[in-house]
Structures are given as structure tokens and as C-alpha cells.
């Protein structure tokens, strides 16, 4: 059995035609690239951080190992806690990308990792650290988590940035 889809062989042209005027998208992509370049430049200006400019996307993946070594911290989680305590900036430590069920971590029930669970954990951390007001940055599943956190307590949110975040739970999964 063979299967074909409408417009096979020309998907980019079909997608662009469906979008119509793409000037706003092109401007937004240019703005994201400019912001990424500014972020990478600023990160590289910090002693102990090395952040190469990625070939594509709007992400920055800084290597903070020099900073960790200079400060005597054992992991990027220590840096994340320091940032939260001193600047009220919540960031995701690199260890978090080894999500439950992936890499070295084991999780018997990935279904237990849900948006309400993640929001609850974030609220507990903020409470334990006595953080009343903060800047929230979320990405992907963390984007939806950050959005729900912000919606639940808008008065405590100084700013909200959703970087390529999902806006519906069905878009979120751990793979």
C-alpha cells in the first residue's frame, strides 16, 4: 500500500502560500536572531561562561562550567538557585534537560509528570525561598508551566517570557 499527501514534493511552497503575506514572520525571525545575538554576546561577556552562537534557532546554550568552577558550585542547579535568590530570575539548570524517563534518570510513571505537578513544584520552591515577585521564562513544556504559574498568581509576576512555549497541554510530552 502506498500513501501520498496533497502537494507531495512541494510542501514549503504550499505552506508559504497558505501563510499569505510572510513579512511579519520574516521580521519576527530577524528580531529573534538579533535578540539571540545580543544574549550570546552578553553571556560571553561574563567570566567563566562560553556561549557559541548557534547556527539556527533562537536559543542559546551557554557552557557555565568555568563559572561553576570559579564559584565553587557543583552544578548548574547551584547557579540557578543563586540567580533565583539574588535576582529573582528563574532559569532552568542544564540538568533539567535530562528529564524523567530520559538519560540517567528513571521515572516509572511519566504520566505523573504533568503541568499541574510542575506548577505545584515551582510554587513550593518559590514558597520555600520566600520569593514573592519574580521574572518567569519558559520554554516548550516549561512555557505552558510558566503560563499556568503566571495565570494563577499574576501579582507575583514581574515579567513573563514564553520562548517557543506550548499553549495547550496536548502539545506537551516527555519523549
- Are 147 and 80 part of one and the same domain? yes
Q: pLDDT per residue over 103-154, tens digit each?
A: 445 556 656 667 788 888 888 888 888 989 988 887 777 778 888 888 888 8
Residue 61 contacts residue 91 (beta carbons within 8 Å): no
Residues 45 and 88 in one domain: no
pLDDT at 7: 45
Give the domain extent around 85.
Answer: 74-175
Q: Which of 32, 54, 72 is the last residue of a domain?
A: 72
**Whether residues 54 and 132 fall in one domain:** no
Q: Are residues 81 and 151 in the same domain?
A: yes
β-bridge mates for residue 165, sequence order: 140
Secondary structure of 68-86 as H, E, C letters: HHHHCCCCHHHHHHHHHHH
Q: Which residues contact 130 (CB under 8 A, 6 or more apart)?
A: none
Has this prediction a pTM greater than 0.75?
no
Q: Please tell me whether residues 115 and 175 are part of one structural domain.
A: yes
Q: How far is CA 102 from CA 76, 88, 124, 153, 158, in A?
A: 18, 29, 24, 31, 33
In a domain, 116, yes or no: yes
* 75: phi then psi, degrees, rounded to nearest 5: -155, 170
- Identify the CATH number of the domain in which residue 63 sits: 3.90.1150.10
Residue 46 CA neighbour count, 13 Å, CB half: 17
Instruction: Report which of residues 132 and 100 the model is more confident about.
Output: 132
Q: Please report which confidence band the pLDDT of residue 72 belongs to, taking 50, 70 and 90 as the band edges.
A: very high
Amino acid at each position: 500500500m502506498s500513501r501520498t499527501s496533497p502537494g507531495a514534493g512541494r510542501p514549503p511552497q504550499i505552506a508559504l502560500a497558505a501563510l499569505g503575506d510572510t513579512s511579519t514572520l520574516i521580521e519576527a525571525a530577524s528580531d529573534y536572531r538579533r535578540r539571540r545575538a545580543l544574549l550570546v554576546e552578553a553571556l560571553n561577556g561574563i567570566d567563566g561562561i562560553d556561549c557559541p552562537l548557534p547556527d539556527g534557532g533562537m536559543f542559546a546554550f551557554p557552557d557555565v562550567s568555568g563559572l561553576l568552577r570559579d564559584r565553587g558550585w557543583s552544578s548548574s542547579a547551584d547557579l540557578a538557585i543563586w540567580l533565583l535568590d539574588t535576582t529573582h530570575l528563574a532559569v532552568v539548570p542544564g540538568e533539567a534537560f535530562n528529564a524523567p524517563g530520559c538519560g540517567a534518570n528513571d521515572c516509572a510513571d511519566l504520566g505523573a509528570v504533568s503541568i499541574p505537578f510542575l506548577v505545584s513544584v515551582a510554587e513550593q520552591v518559590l514558597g520555600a525561598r520566600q520569593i514573592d515577585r519574580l521574572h518567569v521564562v519558559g520554554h516548550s513544556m516549561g512555557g505552558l508551566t510558566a503560563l499556568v504559574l503566571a495565570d494563577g498568581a499574576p501579582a507575583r509576576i514581574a515579567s513573563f517570557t514564553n520562548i517557543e512555549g506550548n499553549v495547550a497541554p496536548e502539545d506537551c510530552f516527555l519523549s
